[in-house]
Amino acid sequence: MGIYYINVNVISRSSGRSAVGAAAYRAGEKLRSAASSAAYRSGDKIRDEKDEMVHDYRNKSDVIYSEIMLPKNAPPQYKDRETLWRAVEASERRKDAQLAREIVVALQREFSLQERLDVLREYVQENFVEKGMCVDLNVHDKGDGNPHAHIMLTTRNVAPEGFKGKNRDWNSRSELLSWRKSWADCNNRMFERKGLDERVDHRSYKEQGLDKEPMIHLGHEAWALEKKGIRTAKGDYNRAVQRRNEERAALKEAGRLTQAQQQREVVKAAEYAEKAQKQHEAAQNAKKVEGQLRAAKATLLVEQMRERQEIAQHMNELKTSYAELDKEQAALKAELNDDRRESYQLVYRAERMDEQAKTIADIQSKAIQLQQARQGLSIWSGKKKKELNDKLRQAEREAGQAQGFFLKHFHIMPDQAAEEIKRTQKAIREKETEIRTKETRLQEIIKQQNTILLQYQTRKLLNDTRPDKENIERQLESLKKTPESVHDKLQQQQHETRLNTISDENFLKIINNLPQSQAHDLVKLRQQAKEQEKSVLLSKTMDKDRNERSR
């Protein structure tokens, strides 16, 4: 069963989680550093040279994987964990500074270690590294059924020369919601690739429209105790919530049946008896009547066959349309990811170019001021003139170096920056318009798929009330196209699962749009199916108990 858990928190000096002794000294507190946090999560030994404090957690046995992931513009020496977090501490001056952000995620027990790492790397690369964050990724697994990962993130923009200003956009609620949804999406894509039906959802039960109480996260300590048969407060709470959810579902299901259902069954039986009597009387007639009956029966069989073919053809067309929309949706999502990445790169280039151009202009202005001051000195001001000459040469060197850096990174001269920034901003606006258009189309596709899903599931439910249900299913199976590859076969299986799995929410939508008689028939069939499932489950549980007692 897929699980979803993600927790985001901030590592800050104000909460006593600083790594630099100098910062602790200035604050007058005994603080634990960000480097210490990194050492604990990775199982490394990291030494802080400033306060001569060693954070040694090499005896941790549950760290099974560690990796530093850097954006393209980060200094390569940040691949070393100690260097990275020491640089983070050095970039922060405030005693209450936010040093890093940490995300803790639960890993799926259905995945292998390599599959968990693939999901993590995809999630980290897409949501953090590509946005400019340095990431310290560590996976913990004590073998107690609670594998999880710690993802430590930097909070400042990074450049080849080191950390720059804080990026406030990473603190937004929309960014947090995006991270939560993306974690569910990454896991669900792996479930799909493995051909598993499990899915996780980042939304609350209320947001999903489910009348259920949420359970709480056990945590590794409570999980280990419960696994040993020791009851915990958290476990008792979850069991109580599960019991209330089951009672709520049972009452809701039972409330759908009315006395009218029983009355219709009586009327249906009377109609059937009357029809049988008439057929018996007709059968007593002469051969002429028999011939007419045979002809009518043949006509009816032909009409029924044609109706089954039309139903199967319609359902197959719905399946095909659903698959085509799913393919378009996947392609559109990939394009949107590329477009958003390109837009971010354009924005980053324009900001860097503007910042560097202003820096060069300031240096040149300083050089001009020094030149003017030098010209205004008299011939007796030799010492002052020498000082100005030294400062002027320094300013000219800085201007030359800045211009060389600008040309190397942007391939234009600084005086061309304004026009280049305008062109880049125009490209950004065009890209954002393109993104909005694609997002609108994506929403249209999702809406169309939901409509097709309801149509297909409505037809499937109505088929369950027909005596020729199996004939329709065989006809539908014969129309299925043979997949050309393993990937196509997997996609086909996934579409079949989605279309044929009717949720309680969709079931309610369907019966609300059907005539009352059909709706009650479907409710009865669904209740019988659920009662049968409960009976099978109870039987298995009783067999298991008997086997355990016999041991």
**Alpha-carbon span 111 to 104, nearest angstrom:** 18
Helix or strand holding residue 69 (H, E): strand 63-69
**DSSP tag of 132:** T
Q: What is the pLDDT of residue 192?
A: 92
Residue in the structure block whose two tokens are 């710690």: 150
Q: What is the pLDDT of residue 286?
A: 52
- Dihedrals φ, ψ of 135, to 5°? -125, 130
Radius of gyration of the chain (CA): 35
The structure tokens listed for 161 are 């020369």
Strands (E), 80-213: 98-106, 135-140, 148-154, 156-159, 162-166
Give the CA-trace dihedral at 221, 226, 229, 235, to 10 degrees.
130
Determine the pLDDT at residue 28: 29
DSSP 5-68: -EEEEEEEGGGT----HHHHHHHTS----HHHHHHHHHT-EEEETTTTEEEE-TT---EEEEEE
CA 475 to chain centre: 38
Residues 6+ apart with CB under 8 A from 6: 103, 104, 105, 106, 179, 180, 183, 202
CA angle 297, 302, 303 (to 5 degrees): 95
DSSP 214-270: PPPP-HHHHHHHHHTT---HHHHHHHHHHHHHHHHHHHHHHTT--HHHHHHHHHHHH
> CB of 268 within 8 A of CB of 275?
no
Q: Which amino acid does the sequence have at 401?
A: Q
Q: What is the pLDDT of residue 279?
A: 59
**pLDDT (0 to 100) of residue 281:** 62
The pLDDT value recorded for residue 106 is 92
CATH 3.40.50.150 fits 6-193, yes or no: no
pLDDT, one tens digit for every residue, the chain (551 residues)? 678 889 998 888 776 565 333 222 222 233 345 444 454 445 555 554 444 555 556 776 788 898 999 999 999 999 988 888 889 888 888 888 888 889 999 999 999 999 999 999 999 999 999 999 999 998 988 887 889 998 989 999 999 999 999 999 999 999 999 999 999 999 999 999 989 888 888 787 677 766 677 777 666 677 777 878 888 888 888 888 788 877 777 777 666 544 444 455 445 545 644 664 565 566 556 566 666 667 667 777 778 788 888 888 999 999 999 999 999 999 999 999 999 999 999 999 999 999 888 988 888 888 888 888 877 777 667 778 788 888 888 888 888 898 888 889 888 888 898 999 999 999 999 999 999 999 999 999 999 999 999 999 998 888 888 888 888 888 888 888 888 899 888 988 998 899 999 998 988 988 888 888 888 888 888 888 888 888 888 888 888 878 888 76
- Cβ atoms 218, 234 nearer than 8 A: yes
Q: Where are the domains of the chain?
A: 6-193, 205-254, 286-514
Asked if 325 contacts 448 with a C-beta cutoff of 8 angstroms, the reply is: yes
* Measured distance CA(136)–CA(153) in Å, rounded: 7
**Tell me, what's the pLDDT at 26?**
23
Amino acid present at 199? R
Indicate left, alpha or beta for 69 from its phi (over 0: left) and psi (-120 to 50: alpha): beta
Q: What is the DSSP string of 353-395?
A: HHHHHHHHHHHHHHHHHHHHHHHTS-TT-HHHHHHHHHHHHHH
pLDDT for 291 equals 64
CA end-to-end span of the chain = 29
117: Cβ contacts below 8 Å, ≥ 6 apart: 65, 139
